């Protein structure tokens, strides 16, 4: 298929900043300009009143949490207690069918905010987890056409993990983790720079449920198979306390000792990074998935990404799970990233261009997907058209950045992944909204009956 998208108000393309039109041929962008004319076979999309961004790249999510928004017991709790009251309380009772609906809901929310790639930190694994639970996530992504990077969580001991301990969940063995991960790798993982499916080795917590020998084995498995690595780290000060008590070293030094630093590694949160941690992260090329909404919601703090960026660390942005970032919107994360660091460091701390690149190009590079994240000739055609032809945007003097500056609510009129439409005339393709709502609500009713 070929598409000509024309008459846009503006396109975010540093390569061609004056462009108002682009052509898609197959899965690639083949032209950018102002006066592109239709060619034989083109499907023409009139983007009048719209601005075009590269598809946003969400580098940390928990799709399973899409059905756990605003759980009353966790509304005013910090991370440790919240883990026990919310995700780990419900986790053992989530069926493959319910997870399928949760994943569709989470991916729907991402697509409608302009996201085209989701790195899902899926950690619903324990001793008796059925294969169908993970398969439900892959199926949901396939049906909606979004790029999925499955960050395969794992825990082999309860350790100091408050969620695992409180609900007496039996972890996997190391052998189970390897065998199940190998099963996934051979079925789904693609190594290409425009891969639709990726597997990442992602122990759920480095400090609390992953002993050193296990982490070293995971790192060796990942690098031996060309896989990237991911985990949570330093979201709260408890990580540092436990690292010093259990391993007699700083959390960042424990990660390095276990071979979990490097340009093929990124961590979610890193809120409590001190100068030593930032120095080691930057020196090794280790990246961050900055999740400002979740960190605010749980009272964890604000990650020092301005200092990190100044040291040369790779910066990307993640939504985190909707149980602690209820909007489920990648655009909200970009908006809050732009604002919150200005509140802390002054009006020159962040620019709109920088934040948009963190949320697209830089996230793609961190995931090893070099063929996406930019609107440029030769890049894969992942993009979102935001409709700004409405009253709330009418007074904006810099229309290119109207969606990012004004934030939610936004309307994505069209979106493409790998050259294929995934949002059309404002509707996410591959699902019917009322049916999705009914499936989620019925599933939630069943879940609450089991948990009660």
Query: What is the structure's pLDDT at 209?
Result: 84
* Residue 158, pLDDT score: 74
CA dist 325 and 292 (Å) reads 9
Give residue 165's pLDDT: 62
DSSP 43-91: EEEE-TTEEEEEPEEEEEE-GGGGG-TT-GGGTT--HHHHHHHTHHHHG
Beta carbons within 10 angstroms of residue 79's beta carbon: 22
pLDDT at 24 over 70: yes
Mean of per-residue pLDDT scores for the chain: 96
pLDDT at 164: 63
pLDDT (tens digit per residue) in 80-123: 899 989 998 998 889 999 999 999 999 999 999 999 999 999 99
Please report, in angstroms and rounded to a whole number, the separation of the first and last CA atoms in the chain: 51
If one compares 85 and 170, the residue with the highest pLDDT of the two is 85
Tell me the pLDDT band of 161, cut-offs 50, 70 and 90.
low
Candidate from 113-122, 166-175, 265-274, 327-336 with smallest mean pLDDT: 166-175
Closest CA to 123 of 207, 57, 63, 78: 63
- The mean-pLDDT minimum among 118-132, 318-332, 380-394 falls in 118-132
Mean pLDDT of 384-410: 97
- Report the C-alpha gap between 324 and 451 in whole angstroms: 20
Average pLDDT over residues 403-411: 97
Instruction: State whether residue 406 is helix, strand or coil.
Output: helix
| pLDDT of res. 251 | 98
Q: Which residues of 202-224 are buried (b: 16+ CB within 10 A; e: fewer)?
A: bbbbbbbbbeeebbebbbebbee
If you average pLDDT over residues 429-449, what whole number do you get? 97
Q: Find out whether 181 and 221 touch, Cβ atoms under 8 Å.
A: yes
> How is residue 28 written in tokens?
């690639």
Across residues 47-56, what is the average pLDDT? 98
pLDDT recorded at residue 162: 58
Convert 106-137 to b/e letters by CB count within 10 Å (16 or more is b).
Answer: bbbbbbbbbbbbbbbbbbbbbeebeeebbbbb
Q: What's the pLDDT at 169?
A: 75
Q: Which helix (H) or strand (E) holds 289?
A: strand 287-290
> What's the predicted TM-score (pTM) here?
0.97
User: How far apart, in whole angstroms, are the C-alpha atoms of residue 315 and residue 287?
Assistant: 6
Using 50, 70 and 90 to split pLDDT, how confident is the model at 160?
A: low
Angle (nearest 5°) at CA 92 between 229 and 178 = 35
Cα Rg of the chain (Å, integer) = 21
**Banded pLDDT at 452 (limits 50, 70, 90):** confident
Q: What pLDDT score was predicted for residue 170? A: 82
Domains of the chain with CATH codes: 2-54+377-428 (2.30.40.10), 56-366 (3.20.20.140)
pLDDT > 70? residue 136? yes
On the question of pLDDT at 29 being above 70, the answer is yes
CA proximity to 205, closest of 285, 316, 150, 123? 123
């Amino acid at each position: 298929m070929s598409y000509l998208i024309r008459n846009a108000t503006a396109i975010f393309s540093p390569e061609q900043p004056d462009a108002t039109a682009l052509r898609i041929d197959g899965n690639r962008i083949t032209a950018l300009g102002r006066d592109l004319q239709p060619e034989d076979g083109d499907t023409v999309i009139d983007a009048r009143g719209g601005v075009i961004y590269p598809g946003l790249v969400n580098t940390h999510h928990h799709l399973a949490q899409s059905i756990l928004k605003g759980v009353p017991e966790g509304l005013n709790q910090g991370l440790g207690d919240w883990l026990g009251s919310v995700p780990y309380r419900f986790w053992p009772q989530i069926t493959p069918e319910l997870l399928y609906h949760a994943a569709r809901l989470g991916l729907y929310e991402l697509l409608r905010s302009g996201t085209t790639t989701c790195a899902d930190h899926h950690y619903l694994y324990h001793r008796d987890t059925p294969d169908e639970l993970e398969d439900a996530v892959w199926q949901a992504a396939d049906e909606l056409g979004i790029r999925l990077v499955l960050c395969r969580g794992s825990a082999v001991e309860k350790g100091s993990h408050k969620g695992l301990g409180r609900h007496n969940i039996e972890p996997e063995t190391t052998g189970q983790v390897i065998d199940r991960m190998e099963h996934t790798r051979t079925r789904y993982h693609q190594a290409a720079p425009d891969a639709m499916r990726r597997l990442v080795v992602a122990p759920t917590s480095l400090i609390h449920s992953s002993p050193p020998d296990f982490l070293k084995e995971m790192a060796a498995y990942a690098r031996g198979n060309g896989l990237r690595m991911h985990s949570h780290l330093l979201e709260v000060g408890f990580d540092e306390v436990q690292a010093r008590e259990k391993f007699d070293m700083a959390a960042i030094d424990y990660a390095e000792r276990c071979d979990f630093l490097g340009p093929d590694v990124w961590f979610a949160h890193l809120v409590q990074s001190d100068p030593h941690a930032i120095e080691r992260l930057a020196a090794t090329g280790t990246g961050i998935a900055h999740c400002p909404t979740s960190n605010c919601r749980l009272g964890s703090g604000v990650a020092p990404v301005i200092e990190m960026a100044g040291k040369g660390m790779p910066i990307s942005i993640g939504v985190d799970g909707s149980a602690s970032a209820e909007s489920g919107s990648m655009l909200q994360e970009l908006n809050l990233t732009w604002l919150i660091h200005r509140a802390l460091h002054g009006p020159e701390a962040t620019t709109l261009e920088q934040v948009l690149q963190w949320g697209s190009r830089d996230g793609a590079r961190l995931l090893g997907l070099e063929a996406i994240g930019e609107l440029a000739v030769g890049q894969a055609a992942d993009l979102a058209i935001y409709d700004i032809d409405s009253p709330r945007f009418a007074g904006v003097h810099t229309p290119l950045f109207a969606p990012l500056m004004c934030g939610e609510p936004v309307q994505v009129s069209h979106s493409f992944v790998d050259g294929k439409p995934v949002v059309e005339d404002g509707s996410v393709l591959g699902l019917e909204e009322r049916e999705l709502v009914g499936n989620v609500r019925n599933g939630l009713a069943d879940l609450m009956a089991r948990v009660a």
